[in-house]
Structures are given as structure tokens and as C-alpha cells.
């Protein structure tokens, strides 16, 4: 079969280069589907698989996104197979005419397809159990299996996954596109298979995330650069900004829990501390609201919120955490001025003279809600989320945040960029951060 160019793609990938595989096995991912290229569907399967394969200890070297077109699928999978020892393909395994992954990949590898009676009876049983009667002819395509392939049971759907292994050790797995099915098959079947095949060569990496908020990425990078950290070949660092702040992800080679790995991460984190201390928050789930909740709890304090431009976002995030009634009493979404007056006691004269987006109104909202809810802390937030409503003095993105604690009030003006959703998200985060920093200044 040496003369066949298709089989060559398969064998080429399998052949060890220079007498042996590099120590760290490489993986690649091909996501198949026109909807991914049209931008209708986000390729979450690709990111999920990348994460899983990395966590297993593979080095994910590349991802392809291709349409439901045989030529493109062939090119993508062919390139993937010449790049990596493990190739995961997701999408296009179903029964409809646009599902072309299976025959295309089988063709690429020079493998014939044969009806698998066991898979077929499984499909028939599933179809009947759901009350649809006799399995339609088209659906039988899902029971066609390439010669030598291993069938990966799909307990959540119809089309099974398939694992194709070359003699040289390359593994190509085909998975359905439906995320829940793809994930189920990967966890139940693919992960154990890959662990068994590559066990000794897998090199997992361990991550630690340091969460910061209230400082832009560039300034945080400058703070870190000022530390002039000694080169550390064992730990690498990435800046990951989003609307809520910047995460610093530290990565060390080795299994999570290995003493050496922990030590390396601890050392790196300690060195970073002077740059990040003023901005960081600690949270298991990566949410500032969790961190704030803990800070309130250990100080026996309670919070009430008065939200205008964030429309209840802070209350939502505080109550995302179970047990939050111990420290979060409740909030008022005071969007219209009459509600600010009636429910929070904001003076109509202030609203008239200073405007709804002003220091005075934010402060009155904070102290009003704290008093009315009997909370030790009150947060008030009012701003111009946009897209309309901005003026020269108060452009879109202007947000006033106020905090009332034990009768004392502090407030701050922020100018946020981005569309309405961004302004709201940033505003909620900044308000919670204001209270967290204030609490951190007091002994628990
Ligand atoms: P099935 O065997 O269940 O028919 P399939 O392999 O044919 O699955 P597709 O038809 O490609 O899968 O996709 C099914 C659904 O899964 C679609 O709603 C699609 O948007 C979603 N999906 C497909 N690929 C991805 C992806 N890479 N990331 C996220 N969602 C995806
Ligand atoms: Mg599809």
C-alpha cells in the first residue's frame, strides 16, 4: 500500500522522526462545520478539547476550523496528521448529507467503510425506544465504521465516536459536533485510551491563576517589569485580560500537587506579590463577588446595594454564591428617579440640581440603601451606560460609585470604555472592588 498518497499521509504521521518521538506528544484539533466559519457558532468544542488535551499532558500545537466540504476536511485532517500524533476531529458525524467527516477521513486514510451490526442495532434500539419506529435508511450511515476502527460509545446521542490508530502509534479520533455528546465520549472513552497509549510520555502542566482588578494590562505589565524578576525557566506567565480585570496565569511543567511544582509556583507568586498586592483578589471560582462575600463574612458585616446603571448585576453576582444571605441582605434596582426618591430617600433637589449621574446622588443611594436595609455597608452606583445619554460633561461610560460604611461615605468617578454591556460589567466589578479594598483596610 506504500504507493498510495492517501495512505502515505497516515503512515507519514506515524513514522517516528529521527528514530524516536519527541518526549512530549503533540496533539492537534480539527473542528468541522460551516456554521463555525459563518460565525454562527463559536468553536467551543475546539477550546474545550484543547484544554482537555493540555491537561492530559499533550502539547496542543494547532487547531483547524474547516467547513462541511470534503476537500477542506481532507486538507485539515491531513495537515493535522502530519503535525501531531493525536488528532481530534469534531463535527459532521451525523446522518444528514452535510455530515461528511467520516467518509472523507476514511478516504484520506485509505480505509474502507463497513456496516457495523452492533452499532446498527444500537441505533435501531435507540430510535425505537424514543418512539420513532423504524430507523430511516440515511441514519444507517452512522453505523458505517472504517476497517480497524474502534467504536467509542455515545451514551448521549446517536453517532458514535471512532478511534483510528495507525501501526506507528498515531491516533485520530472522530467525535460528533454536539458539545454534550463530544464531551461525554471524550471523557468516557478517549481520555482513558490516550492515557493508556501515551502514559509514560505525557507531561501535564500545572496552572495557578492570580486574579487582579482595577489596573489595565499594560500598567500591570509595567509593575511586574519593575520587579526585575530573575529568569525562572520552570514557570511561565501569561496576562489574560477581560472586562473584570487581568488574570495572571502561571504555568509550570509537572503534575498539579507535585511538591516541586507547588514550590516553583509558590516562589514565583511570592516574587510577584509586590506588583499585584493592591489589585489582587483571592477566589476559588475566580469571582470577585466570592472574595467580597468572604471579606464581609469574616468581619461580620452585611451589604445592601442600590443600583442604577448596572440594573442589579451586583446583586446577581453576590447571590450567585450559595450561602450569600449571611452577608448580602438585598438590593434595589433604582433605575428611574422616582424610585431613587421613594425607595432610597434620594433628595429630589439633588437629582434636579446635580443630575442622576453625580457624586451626590451615588452617595445618597449608598447611604439610603444601607439605612433602609439595616446593612453595615451600602453600595450605590449610577452612570451613563450608553449608547445614548452621554453629554460633554458626562460622556458615555461615566460611572459614579459610592460606598457607605458606618456613616462614612467614599465615592469615586470612573470612565469606562466599550459598549453598554462592558460599562455595566466594569461598573459592577469596580463597585465591588471598592468595598473589598475598604474592608481589607480593616482588621477582621
Ligand atoms: P450528530 O451526530 O449529533 O448529528 P454532528 O457530528 O453531525 O452531530 P454537527 O451537525 O456538526 O454535529 O453539529 C451539531 C450541533 O453541534 C450544532 O448545533 C452545532 O452548532 C454544534 N457544534 C458543532 N460543532 C461545534 C463546535 N466546534 N463547537 C461548538 N458547537 C458545535
Ligand atoms: Mg455539522
Distance 236 CA to ligand 2 centre (A): 37
Q: What is the largest CA-CA distance in the chain?
A: 88
Which residues touch 260 (CB under 8 Å, ≥6 apart)?
A: 254
| Ligand 1 nearest atom to the CA of residue 41, by list position | 20
Residue 322 has pLDDT above 80, yes or no: yes
CB 166 within 8 A of CB 197: no
Please state, rounded to an integer, the average pLDDT across all residues of the chain. Answer: 92
User: Helix 217-226 vs helix 259-276: angle between axes, to the nearest 10 degrees?
Assistant: 110
Report the candidate in 359, 381, 392 with the shortest Cα–Cα distance to residue 427.
381
Q: pLDDT tens across 44-71, in order?
A: 999 999 999 998 999 999 999 999 999 9
Give the containing element (helix H, strand E) for 88: strand 86-90
Give pLDDT, residue 46: 98
Residues within a 6 A CB radius of ligand 1: 31, 33, 35-36, 41, 43-46, 90-94, 99, 157-159, 176-179, 181
Give pLDDT, residue 268: 96
Give pLDDT, residue 239: 95
| CA 347 from centroid of its chain's CA atoms | 43
Report helix, strand or coil for 285.
coil
Q: pLDDT tens across 334-349, in order?
A: 999 999 999 999 999 9
| Ligand 1 nearest atom to the CA of residue 46, by list position | 27
What burial class does residue 124 get, using C-beta atoms within 10 Å of its C-beta: 0-12 exposed, 13-18 middle, 19+ buried? middle
Please give the order of strands across the beta sheet that includes 150-152.
59-66, 26-32, 86-90, 171-175, 161-165, 150-152
- Copy the grid coordinates of residue 286: 475566580
Q: How many whole angstroms separate alpha carbon 38 and alpha carbon 161?
A: 25
Q: How many whole angstroms separate alpha carbon 78 and alpha carbon 89?
A: 11
Q: pLDDT tens across 98-125, in order?
A: 889 999 999 999 999 999 999 999 999 9
Distance 34 CA to ligand 2 centre (A): 7
Give pLDDT, residue 13: 42
HSE of 180, CA atoms in CB hemisphere, 13 A: 4
| Ligand 1 nearest atom to the CA of residue 101, by list position | 6
CB 290 within 8 A of CB 283: yes
Distance 48 CA to ligand 1 centre (A): 14
Which residues touch 327 (CB under 8 Å, ≥6 apart)?
A: 293, 296, 297, 301, 302, 303
Q: How many whole angstroms separate alpha carbon 307 and alpha carbon 339?
A: 11
- Residue ID of nearest Cα to ligand 1 atom 4: 94
- Given ligand 1 and candidates 39, 51, 178, which is best to mutate, with the most ligand atoms within 8 Å of its CB? 178
Instruction: Please compute the mean of the pLDDT values over residues 415-422 and round it to a whole number.
Output: 95
Ligand with an atom nearest the CA of residue 40: 1
pLDDT band at 158 (very low <50, low <70, confident <90, very high): confident
Residue 19 has pLDDT above 50, yes or no: no
Radius of gyration of the chain (CA): 28
Give pLDDT, residue 16: 38
Residue 147 has pLDDT above 70, yes or no: yes
Instruction: Please compute the mean of the pLDDT values over residues 309-337 and round it to a whole number.
Output: 98
Residue 20 has pLDDT above 90, yes or no: no
Residue 406 has pLDDT above 50, yes or no: yes
Its pTM stands at: 0.74
Q: How many whole angstroms separate alpha carbon 61 and alpha carbon 281?
A: 32
- Given ligand 1 and candidates 29, 31, 33, which is best to mutate, with the most ligand atoms within 8 Å of its CB? 33
CB 300 within 8 A of CB 377: no
Distance 72 CA to ligand 1 centre (A): 17
Ligand with an atom nearest the CA of residue 42: 1
From the CB of residue 233, how many other CB atoms can be counted at a distance below 10 Å?
7
Distance 134 CA to ligand 2 centre (A): 24
Q: How many whole angstroms separate alpha carbon 182 and alpha carbon 156?
A: 9
Residues within 5 A (CB) of ion ligand 2: 33, 91-92
Give pLDDT, residue 23: 66
Distance 78 CA to ligand 1 centre (A): 21
Ligand with an atom nearest the CA of residue 90: 1
pLDDT band at 18 (very low <50, low <70, confident <90, very high): very low
Q: pLDDT tens across 196-211, in order?
A: 999 888 988 899 999 9
Which residues touch 181 (CB under 8 Å, ≥6 apart)?
A: 154, 156, 157, 159, 175
Distance 121 CA to ligand 1 centre (A): 23
| Ligand 1 nearest atom to the CA of residue 35, by list position | 20
Q: pLDDT tens across 254-266, in order?
A: 888 889 999 999 9
Distance 157 CA to ligand 1 centre (A): 12
- DSSP-assigned letter for residue 86: E
CA torsion sign for 428, 430, 431, 436 is positive
CB 375 within 8 A of CB 406: no
Amino acid at each position: 500500500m506504500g504507493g498510495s498518497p492517501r495512505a502515505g499521509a497516515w503512515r507519514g504521521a506515524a513514522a517516528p522522526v529521527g528514530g524516536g518521538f519527541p518526549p512530549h506528544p503533540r496533539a492537534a484539533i480539527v473542528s468541522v462545520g460551516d456554521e463555525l466559519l459563518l460565525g454562527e457558532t463559536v468553536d467551543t468544542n475546539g477550546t474545550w478539547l484543547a484544554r482537555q488535551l493540555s491537561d492530559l499532558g499533550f502539547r496542543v500545537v494547532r487547531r483547524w476550523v474547516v467547513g462541511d466540504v470534503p476537500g477542506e476536511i481532507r486538507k485539515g485532517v491531513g495537515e493535522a496528521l502530519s503535525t501531531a500524533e493525536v488528532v481530534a476531529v469534531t463535527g459532521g458525524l451525523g446522518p444528514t448529507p452535510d455530515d461528511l467527516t467520516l467518509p472523507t477521513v476514511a478516504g484520506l486514510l485509505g480505509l474502507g467503510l463497513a456496516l457495523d451490526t452492533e452499532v446498527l442495532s444500537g441505533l435501531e434500539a435507540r430510535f425505537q425506544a424514543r418512539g420513532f419506529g423504524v430507523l430511516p435508511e440515511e441514519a444507517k450511515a452512522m453505523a458505517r465504521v472504517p476497517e480497524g476502527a474502534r467504536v467509542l460509545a455515545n451514551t448521549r446521542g446517536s453517532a458514535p465516536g471512532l478511534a483510528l490508530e495507525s501501526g506507528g502509534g498515531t491516533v485520530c479520533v472522530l467525535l460528533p459536533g454536539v458539545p454534550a455528546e463530544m464531551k461525554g465520549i471524550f471523557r468516557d472513552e478517549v481520555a482513558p485510551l490516550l492515557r493508556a497509549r501515551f502514559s509514560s510520555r505525557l507531561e501535564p502542566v500545572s496552572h495557578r491563576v492570580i486574579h487582579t482588578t482595577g489596573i489595565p494590562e499594560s500598567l500591570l505589565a509595567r509593575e511586574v517589569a519593575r520587579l526585575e524578576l530573575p529568569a525562572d525557566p520552570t514557570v511561565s506567565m501569561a496576562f489574560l485580560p477581560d472586562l473584570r480585570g487581568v488574570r495572571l496565569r502561571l504555568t509550570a511543567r509537572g503534575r498539579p500537587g507535585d511538591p516541586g511544582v507547588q514550590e516553583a509556583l509558590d516562589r514565583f507568586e511570592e516574587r510577584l506579590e509586590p506588583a499585584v498586592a493592591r489589585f489582587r483578589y483571592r477566589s476559588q471560582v475566580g469571582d470577585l463577588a466570592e472574595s467580597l462575600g468572604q471579606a464581609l463574612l469574616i468581619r461580620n458585616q452585611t451589604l445592601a446595594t442600590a443600583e442604577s446603571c448596572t440594573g442589579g448585576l451586583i446583586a446577581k453576582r453576590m447571590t450567585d454564591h450559595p450561602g450569600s444571605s449571611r452577608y448580602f441582605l438585598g438590593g434595589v434596582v433604582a433605575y428611574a428617579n422616582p424610585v431613587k426618591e421613594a425607595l432610597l430617600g434620594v433628595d429630589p433637589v439633588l437629582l434636579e440640581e446635580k443630575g442622576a449621574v453625580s457624586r451626590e446622588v451615588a452617595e445618597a443611594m449608598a447611604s439610603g440603601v444601607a439605612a433602609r436595609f439595616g446593612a453595615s455597608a451600602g453600595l450605590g452606583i449610577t452612570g451613563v451606560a450608553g449608547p445614548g445619554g452621554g453629554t460633554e460633561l458626562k460622556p458615555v461610560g461615566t460611572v459614579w460609585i459610592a460606598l457607605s460604611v458606618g456613616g462614612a461615605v467614599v465615592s469615586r468617578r470612573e470612565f469606562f470604555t466599550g459598549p453598554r454591556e462592558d460599562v455595566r460589567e466594569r461598573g459592577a466589578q469596580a463597585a465591588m472592588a471598592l468595598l473589598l479594598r475598604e474592608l481589607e483596610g480593616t482588621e477582621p
